[in-house]
Amino acid sequence: MARKDIQLDHEVILSLVGAQSSVLDLGCGNGDLLYLLIKEKKVHGQGIEIDEQAIYKCVAKGLNVFHGDIDTGLAEFSDKSFDYVVLNQSMQQIIHVDKVLIDALRVGKQVIVGFPNFAYYKARLQLFFKGKTPVTGLLPYQWYETPNLHFLSISDFRDYCRSKGINIERRICIGEKRRVAILPNLFAQTGIFLISK
């Protein structure tokens, strides 16, 4: 497995997760991230995914995965049953985000959230100059076909955590190719937060 093949956001999450920990990946898709975490960090991984075809791909990789939706799938886990609960690129598609985040913080000792930054400069330019809903690399959908229910920025999520008394332990912002340290809410395409309560 060549290092360069790994998605940047997966690489960041890999760096946040402790070795041999337990990870619940909500909306694990084809299971690439879980696969990486198990292979590289020897974690005990469990996925939840709504798409049946994605389940078949996870099973082919040897992953443990539950077929179901995130909104109801979390409630059945006992408190702190995982070291990490991961919501990577899935939070913006959940109906009751607030409820799920609270539950994720109950089930996981720490929660890792990764989401596309709606205030990314390319999105701002499209909205400002073209007057159109932004379509970017990480927000590739037209308004009528997007699975995303929520559009938020890195600043939005920071404010949300503050208002809910959620600790932000790490925040790593990334652009198309590398991490972004300066003005992340403007220059970062993705925000990745390590949070706890």
Partner 1 sequence: MNKEKKIIKNDNVGIVQAQTFSFDSLKLESGEKLGPVTLVYETYGVLNQEKTNAILIVHALSGDAHAAGAHEGQDDPGCTPPYRIGGYATLGWWDAFIGPGKAFDTDKYFVICSNILGGCKGSTGPSSINPKTNKPYALDFPLIGINDIVNAQKHLIDHLGIDKLLSVVGGSMGGQQVLSWLVNHPNRIHSAVPIATTIRHSPQQIAFNEVGRQAIMADAHWKSGNYYDGPAPSKGLAVARMIGHITYMSDSSMAEKFGRQRKESNEPFKFTADFEVEGYLRYRGDNFVKRFDANSYLYITKAMDNFDASAGRPFCDRLRGVKAKVLVISFKSDWLYPAYQSKEIIKGCKLAGVQTTYCEVDSTYGHDAFLLEVEEETHLISHFLKKIFYDYEVTGVYGA
Is position 32 an interface residue for partner 1 (rule: CB under 8 A)?
Answer: yes
Is position 151 an interface residue for partner 1 (rule: CB under 8 A)?
Answer: no
Binding residues for partner 1, total number by CB under 8 A? 32
Q: What are the backbone dihedrals phi and psi of residue 185, each rounded to the nearest 5 degrees, phi first?
A: -65, -15
Q: Quick one: 30 or 92, whose CB is closer to partner 1?
A: 30
The correct pick among 67, 158, 171, 179 for binding partner 1 (CB under 8 A) is 67
Cα separations in angstroms, 13 against 33, 34, 36: 8, 10, 10
Using the rule CB under 8 A, give the single segment among 59-67, 116-124, 142-150, 178-186 that binds partner 1: 59-67
Contact 148, 139 (CB under 8 A): yes
Smallest gap from residue 146 Cβ to partner 1 (A): 23
The correct pick among 76, 98, 159, 169 for binding partner 1 (CB under 8 A) is 76
Smallest gap from residue 79 Cβ to partner 1 (A): 11
> Rounded to whole angstroms, how far apart are CA atoms 56 and 105?
28
C-alpha closest to that of 187 among 136, 121, 137: 121
Contact 28, 39 (CB under 8 A): no
Using the rule CB under 8 A, give the single segment among 28-36, 91-99, 123-131, 170-178 that binds partner 1: 28-36
